[in-house]
Structure 1
Amino acid sequence: MLLTTIDPFVQEFERQFDRLTRQAFGYALGNGGVMPMDGIRRKDDVILYFDLPGIDPDSIEVTVDRGVLSVSAHREEDYAEDDRAFVRERVMGNFTRRVYLPEHLDSEHIDAGYANGVLTVRIPVLEKARPRKVEIQRADSKALNA
C-alpha cells in the first residue's frame, strides 16, 4: 500500500516550474507548439479545457493509449498565393498535448466536445476513487481489534 501526503510547497514549486518551462520553451516551439490547458475536478469528473482557437474541428483528434490522453490538432495558413504577410504571430502547423491519466480515472468513458475555440474533455473518476464517508463502529469501552 502506498500512502502519500499533500505538500503545498512541492505542489506550488511544480506549478511554478511548469509555468516557467512553458514560458521559456513552449511559446518558441512553433510546430508542435502551444496548446494551453486548464484542468479542474468537478464532483465525479475531471474536466480538461484546451484552447484551440481557429482550429478546424475536423482536424482535432483525442486518443487514449496506456493511460496517456493525447490531443492533437492542425491549423493551416489560409493565405492566397499572391498575399504577402508583413506580421506573422499566429502559430501554424501541428499541435499535440499529452496528459498522463492517473489510474483512478475511467479512461473507457471519456467525452469530448469543441465549441468557441475550446476543446472540453470530461473524464469520469472511478467509483472506488470517489470520496465516501466511513462509518464509525461503536464498541463498549473496547478498542476494535485490527
Structure 2
Amino acid sequence: MAVTLDPFAELDRLASGLLGARPGPRVMPVDLYRDADRYVLNADLPGVDPGTVDVDVDGQLLTIRAQRTADTGHVGKWLVQERPGGSYLRQFSIGEGVDITGISASYDNGVLSVVLPVSEKAKPRKIEVHAASASTDSQKTLTS
C-alpha cells in the first residue's frame, strides 16, 4: 500500500491550527490620538454586528466588547477559514483627565469610534502674572 503525501494539505492543516479558532478574545487593532480637547479611539471590528458592540466605563477603565458570528450559512467544505467568529475584548486605563460623562461612540463600516472629551480641569490654561506695583515696592523700602 502506497502512502501519498500531499504537502499542500499538510500546510493547510498547519495553517488552520495557527490561524483557525483559538481560545480567548480576537485581536482588535486600535488607533488613538488627541484632537484639540478630545481623544479619539478607532477600533477595527470587521464583520461585527453593531448590536453586539458594548462600550462601558467603570471608574477609570474603558472596556470594549464585541462578538463576531462565524459564517455558517454555506453548505460546502471550507478550504480556508481565516475569519472565524468569536469575541473581541480591549480595556484601556483612561486616567483622570477624561470627562467620563461625555464619552460617545459610533460604529460605521467596521470601525468603532470612541470619543473621550478632555475634562475641564485637565485642559491647559493660561495663568495671569501680576506685576508688583511701584508704590508697593517703595513702601517696602521706606518701612525697612
* TM score, norm. by length of structure 1: 0.71
Q: Which residue of 1 aligns with 2:54?
A: 61
Find the residue that maps to 2:100 and give its secondary structure.
coil
Q: Which of structures 1 and 2 has the bigger CA Rg?
A: 2
Q: Which residue of 2 aligns with 1:33?
A: 26
Q: Verify: 1:108 aligned to 2:85, yes or no.
A: no
Q: After superposition, where does 1:117-136 map in structure 2 within 5 Å?
A: 117-136=110-129
C-alpha deviation, 1:38, in angstroms = 0.8
Q: After superposition, where does 1:37-116 map in structure 2 within 5 Å?
A: 37-80=30-73, 82-116=75-109
Residue ranges of structure 2 left out of the alignment (5+ in a row): 1-20, 138-144
Aligned 8 A contact 2:70 2:84 in 1: no
Alpha-carbon distance in structure 2 between the residues aligned to 1:116 and 1:106: 27
Aligned 8 A contact 2:71 2:85 in 1: no
Find the residue that maps to 2:102 and give its secondary structure.
coil
C-alpha deviation, 1:140, in angstroms = 5.1
Aligned length: 115
Aligned 8 A contact 2:41 2:113 in 1: yes
C-alpha deviation, 1:81, in angstroms = 6.0
Alpha-carbon distance in structure 1 between the residues aligned to 2:78 and 2:131: 76
Aligned 8 A contact 1:33 1:91 in 2: no
Structure 1 vs Structure 2: percent identity of aligned residues?
A: 40
Residue ranges of structure 1 left out of the alignment (5+ in a row): 1-27
CA-atom RMSD in angstroms: 2.0
Find the residue that maps to 1:108 and give its secondary structure.
helix
C-alpha deviation, 1:137, in angstroms = 1.8
